[in-house]
Amino acid sequence: IRDTTAIDQATLNTILEKNRQCYKQGKVADYIPELGKANAQSIALSVVNSNGTVVSAGDIQQKFTIQSISKIIALMIAVKENGEATIFEKMGYFGTDKPFNHFGNLETMGKPLNPMMNAGAILTTALIKGKGEEPFVKILKMIRFITNNEHIEYNHAVYNSERETGHRNRGMFYIMRNNGLIDGEGEEKLNNYFKQCSIEITVEDLAKIGYFFAHHCVRYDGNKEYLDPGLSQLIQSQMLIAGMYEFSGEYARTVGLPSKSGVGGGITVSVPGKMGIAAFSPALDQHGNSLAGYRMIFDLVKARQLSIFN
Ligand code: GLN
């Protein structure tokens, strides 16, 4: 099918080159020591157009860990298994002015703000059914399905690094357990969260994830196995209000699209009913969002008038 709104290679190349030096103003995450080894100069941009064709520029072979972007996949599975009401009884639909690793209102309201911040995400993964690492395996398999890429694995060094240093996340788990939101063995449930964050993908895999949620959970090649307009609407709404953490409000103003970032340097964007966009560059801004990634998405969205508020 001919797609007149399709993004072409030249557009992506121009936008990428314009933003190639942005990484100098950012900083690669090193609070998880293994992430600090990333090459700050890596940069990539990818689009899955409406008809499912993929166009990409830059370091498209470069793998990076999905990090917080895995939270939208975990939310999808947890809601499918438990129903939306059960999940959102235990956490809010609230936006946030707080960083991703903030305890939010765990103390005051007793529940996480939303499933996009670490607390809510750890709880979401803990609500996926299954013993031991089964919940993680479900997340991995869903990512393999959406990207149609059976080679996707998790990075063991990053996983170990998260596990060794993730004491804040551990603290959140135990407050939620104290509040009666979770039971069971903390380390087992946290390990699933640490593993899901360590799943390695490329920018094209990530653009396919954006496309999936932009298209009612239909895969870029037309596979309708998980078709569910209500679910994609829920996930995109969470991406819009909290996918970029405390920057989400300003991002809604400047980009205006459901998006999710991760501290590995990836950002995935859903253009509802149209395309999936992904950017990668590991140097982050003060909110933990990819600096060059944001700039590239901003330029592309502006050039093509893609904001949902247009
Ligand atoms: N694994 C990271 C953490 O738990 C994910 C955070 C993120 O990508 N924003 O701290």
Work out the number of other CB atoms within 10 angstroms of the CB of residue 275.
30
**Strand, coil or helix: 45:** strand
Atom from ligand 1 closest to the CA of residue 169: 4
71 has catalytic annotation: yes
- ipTM greater than 0.90, yes or no? yes
Q: What share of the chain is helix, strand, coil (3-state, %, to 5)?
A: 50, 10, 40
Could you list the pLDDT tens digit for every one of the 310 residues in the chain? Answer: 556 679 999 999 999 999 999 999 999 999 999 999 999 999 999 999 999 999 999 999 999 999 999 999 999 999 999 999 999 999 999 999 999 999 988 988 999 999 999 999 999 999 999 999 999 999 999 999 999 999 999 999 999 999 999 999 999 999 999 999 998 888 999 999 999 999 999 999 999 999 999 999 999 999 999 999 999 999 999 999 999 999 999 999 999 999 999 999 999 999 999 999 999 999 999 999 999 999 999 999 999 999 999 9
Architecture of domain 9-64+201-304: 3-Layer(aba) Sandwich (3.40)
Q: What is the pLDDT of residues 50-68, one digit of tens each?
A: 999 999 999 999 999 999 9
* Mutational test site, ligand 1, from 32, 165, 190, 263, max ligand atoms within 8 Å of CB: 263
Reported pTM? 0.97
Gap between the Cα atoms of 198 and 133, Å rounded: 14
CA–CA distance from 163 to each of 31, 98, 156, 263, 306 (Å)? Answer: 12, 23, 10, 16, 39
d(CA 202, CA 58): 11
* Ligand 1 proximal residues by C-beta, below 6 Å: 67-68, 100-101, 118, 162, 169, 197, 262-263, 288
Residue 267 contacts residue 291 (beta carbons within 8 Å): no
State the sign of the Cα–Cα–Cα–Cα dihedral 104, 119, 70, 49. Answer: negative
The residue nearest atom 6 of ligand 1, judged by CA position, is 68
Does residue 46 carry a catalytic annotation? no
Task: State pLDDT tens for residues 226-276.
Answer: 999 999 999 999 999 999 999 999 999 999 999 999 999 999 999 999 999
**Does domain 68-197 match CATH 3.40.710.10?**
yes
Active site residue 193: yes
pLDDT of residue 31: 95
| Domain boundaries of the chain, sorted by first residue | 9-64+201-304, 68-197
The three-state secondary structure class of 142 is: helix
Q: What is the pLDDT of residue 186?
A: 86
**Is residue 90 annotated as part of the catalytic site, yes or no?**
no
- CA 88 to chain centroid: 19
**pLDDT mean across residues, the chain:** 96
The answer to whether 40 and 173 are in contact (CB under 8 A) is no
What is the structure's pLDDT at 285? Answer: 97
- Specify whether the CB–CB gap between 269 and 299 falls below 8 A: no
H and E: helices and strands count for the chain: 12, 9
Per-residue pLDDT tens for 200-212? 999 999 999 999 9
